[in-house]
Amino acid sequence: MFGLFVCLLQSVIVSFIRLVSEPSSSSRLLTGLGMSDEDSRASSSSSSSSSSNPQQDTSYLKKKESKASMSKTSKLLSTSAKSAGPKDDNIYEWRSTILGPPGSVYEGGVFFLDIAFSPDYPFKPPKVTFRTRIYHCNINSQGVICLDILKDNWSPALTISKVLLSICSLLTDCNPADPLVGSIATQYTTNRPEHDKIAKQWTKRYAT
């Protein structure tokens, strides 16, 4: 009987350890956005303590994201991105503002992007789309971006700041070998001066 009691006690202890070690979806989201482990633990703790009040939980997550993740994001993006943060009270819907990289045909432009996170983030990539029209062979008229890290090469280790940096890099060096708009890619490779002229015109017309 004593041996049976010990086995049951061990089973309960192991189950408890697994329970407290399992991260919440909100904690995974904030960790993927680039928050520290301490912030993630605080977020997870708040989620469990305020589960009866979803509005309070959402407000808390937004506050933590703004103070921690956003400060890190702004430092990493430097002059490439003006801002990136949640829309209203929904931490799964973000809006980012990217500045056209200096020296590129998009210099002087201000480009708005929507970022949508799934509940499975960071195990699945966010959906990033341009809301400002841009003349680019890897970005179509619907704002869809052809970028490998947003598809097959996605990794949970990638934070949103790294994603935005990759998009800024794409504005500096497009990839005509893997185009989303074939006509622009062809023009880029066969008539670069005309391509750059139109890209600058679009930037002035739609992004300034």
**Token pair of 30 as six digits:** 């904030």
Confidence label for 80 from pLDDT (cuts 50, 70 and 90)? low
**Token pair of 70 as six digits:** 């956003």
CA 68, 71, 74 angle in degrees (round to 5)? 145
Give the model's pLDDT for residue 88: 84
Is 154 a residue whose pLDDT tops 70?
yes
Percent of the chain at pLDDT > 90 equals: 55
Strand arrangement of the beta sheet that strand 81-87 belongs to? 81-87, 90-99, 110-116, 127-130
Is 139 a residue whose pLDDT tops 70?
yes
- Whether 7 is catalytic is no
Which distant-in-sequence residues (6+ apart) come within 8 Å of 119 by Cβ?
A: 25, 92
**Token pair of 111 as six digits:** 């480009």
Q: How far, CA to CA in Å, does 156 sit from each of 16, 33, 67, 96?
A: 26, 10, 22, 20
Confidence label for 84 from pLDDT (cuts 50, 70 and 90)? confident
Cα within 13 Å of Cα(29), Cβ side: 23
Percent of the chain at pLDDT > 70 equals: 61
**pLDDT, tens digit, 9 for 90 and up, residues 91-137:** 999 999 999 999 999 999 999 999 999 999 999 999 999 999 999 99
Confidence label for 87 from pLDDT (cuts 50, 70 and 90)? confident
- Mutual orientation of helices 25-32 and 54-64 as an angle, nearest 10°? 20
Confidence label for 48 from pLDDT (cuts 50, 70 and 90)? very low
**pLDDT, tens digit, 9 for 90 and up, residues 10-46:** 443 444 334 334 445 444 555 455 544 443 343 344 3
Out of 137, 146, 168, 174, which one is annotated catalytic? 146
For the chain, domains (ranges, CATH) are 74-207 (3.10.110.10)
Range with the poorest average pLDDT among 2-6, 115-119, 185-189:
2-6
